[in-house]
Structure 1
Amino acid sequence: MRRQLMWTLVVRSFAALMFGALALVWPEVTVLALALLFGAYALADGLALLTSALHRGGDVGHRTAHAAGGALGIVIGVITVAWPGITALALVSLIGAWAVGAGAAEIWAAARFRHELHHEWMLFAAGGASVVAGVLVWARPDAGALVIAQVVGVYAMIVGLLTLAAAWRLHGATAAAHRPRPTRHAWHT
């Protein structure tokens, strides 16, 4: 279970880091290019979350949070990729809705996950960054593609790094749980 969650986090973090890097390196993208980049990112993130929800055992609440976040990402990704020529205001609304919804689902999953590991603060922080980015994008829909690309790019980089750190910590905890414990012999007491 932990191993599959770790790989889900790794896939999500690399998708976020790739999208964030492209949005920051290429901030003067057109609305059409930004829509396609964002749609691909939301779709990859949604598929990773939904796959995790369907293949994991254990906590129903955590699986439900992943399923909700995954379904939202897939729907928003498909809408964005299917209609990339939507207006900038509609794109901002989609990005904001996705960021707030995905962040809320991440916070919910982190709250459910905190009893299994004690490194959930990274997932809380990633969810919080997502909600803040969504609210910032909604607050200034008139900011233009350049500013939106920069805000979403920074958000994606932060979330990608936090998610990758959470995967690394989960890997360490899983490896520690599988290490053989030293045996105590009578002459060591």
Structure 2
Amino acid sequence: MTSTTENRTADIQIDTASARLATNWWLFLLRGAFGIIFGLLAFLLPGPTMLSLVLLFSAYMLVDGIAAIISAVRAMRRSGQWGLLMFEGLLNIAVGVAAFIWPGLTVIAFLLLVAAWAIVSGALLTIAGFRLKLDHGRWWMVSGGLLSIVYGALLVAMPLIGAVVLTWWMGAYAMAFGAALVILSFKLRARQREQTGSLAAAV
């Protein structure tokens, strides 16, 4: 009986947290849009100096991290869920600040920094995705996390790629990751509209 009660309580918490996350769908849309814009800039400007690439990545991390933290805080107001999303946002900001403080990073140092960030943040996002209800776009959040992990692993496996190739890889990853978050945001928006409609009908 105790186990059943605990499971029901956990399900209610997940439902509540997922519903609150759905009300903030626009933050995921913002994150996805910035990811796509960053990816496009990386493809359109494939030969920037290393300093420009580092600063562009730093700006992207800061914006993405702030958006992730805001969405997590707003979802956590009435539940203990989405702490992993909070950690992901803090990690993004920390990496963005580190890249900004040390703009003279070599290609290898920058690559390892990005690889470590991609693997850790991807793992956090993947775990958080499994806490999202299935009809709220769980697999799109999980896909974004797995994509980050694969991207980080590729960077570790091939650390001697040139700056231009690194830019292309980063651009392709950012666009794919951004697209996953945009689709996730539309899934959350659809659930948020359903929730609003249900409340209106109940009244």
Separation of aligned partners in 2, 1:86 and 1:132: 23
Query: Which residue of 2 is the match for residue 76 of structure 1?
Result: 95
Separation of aligned partners in 1, 2:167 and 2:160: 13
Alignment of 1:26 with 2:6, yes or no, is no
The 1:79/1:169 distance shift into structure 2, 3 A limit, reads same
Query: Which residue of 2 is the match for residue 186 of structure 1?
Result: none
Amino acid at match of 1:165: I
Secondary structure, counterpart of 1:113 in structure 2: coil
Separation of aligned partners in 2, 1:59 and 1:149: 39
8 Å Cα contact 1:125-1:162 kept in structure 2: yes
Separation of aligned partners in 2, 1:12 and 1:140: 28
**Deviation of the 1:182 alpha carbon:** 11
Separation of aligned partners in 1, 2:58 and 2:186: 27
**Deviation of the 1:180 alpha carbon:** 5.6
Query: Which residue of 1 is the match for residue 62 of structure 2?
Result: 43
**Deviation of the 1:138 alpha carbon:** 1.6
Separation of aligned partners in 2, 1:65 and 1:172: 24
Alignment of 1:6 with 2:51, yes or no, is no
**Deviation of the 1:53 alpha carbon:** 2.3
Separation of aligned partners in 1, 2:117 and 2:165: 18
Query: Which residue of 2 is the match for residue 94 of structure 1?
Result: 113
8 Å Cα contact 2:23-2:189 kept in structure 1: no
Separation of aligned partners in 2, 1:149 and 1:11: 22
The 1:51/1:182 distance shift into structure 2, 3 A limit, reads closer
The 1:7/1:118 distance shift into structure 2, 3 A limit, reads closer
Alignment of 1:174 with 2:192, yes or no, is yes
Separation of aligned partners in 1, 2:48 and 2:79: 41
The percentage of aligned residue pairs carrying the same residue is 31
Separation of aligned partners in 2, 1:53 and 1:181: 23
8 Å Cα contact 1:106-1:126 kept in structure 2: yes
Query: Which residue of 2 is the match for residue 140 of structure 1?
Result: 158
The 1:181/1:43 distance shift into structure 2, 3 A limit, reads closer
Secondary structure, counterpart of 1:22 in structure 2: helix
Separation of aligned partners in 2, 1:37 and 1:47: 16
Secondary structure, counterpart of 2:67 in structure 1: helix
Q: TM-score, normalised by structure 1?
A: 0.88
Aligned residues: 181
**Deviation of the 1:181 alpha carbon:** 8.9
* Structure 1 unaligned spans of 5+: 184-189
- The two structures, once aligned, show a CA RMSD in angstroms of 1.9
Query: Which residue of 1 is the match for residue 146 of structure 2?
Result: 128
Q: Deviations over 1:148-179 (max 9, x none)?
A: 11111101000101100010111111112222
Q: Deviations over 1:118-168 (max 9, x none)?
A: 421111111111111111112112101111111111010001011000101
* Structure 2 unaligned spans of 5+: 1-19
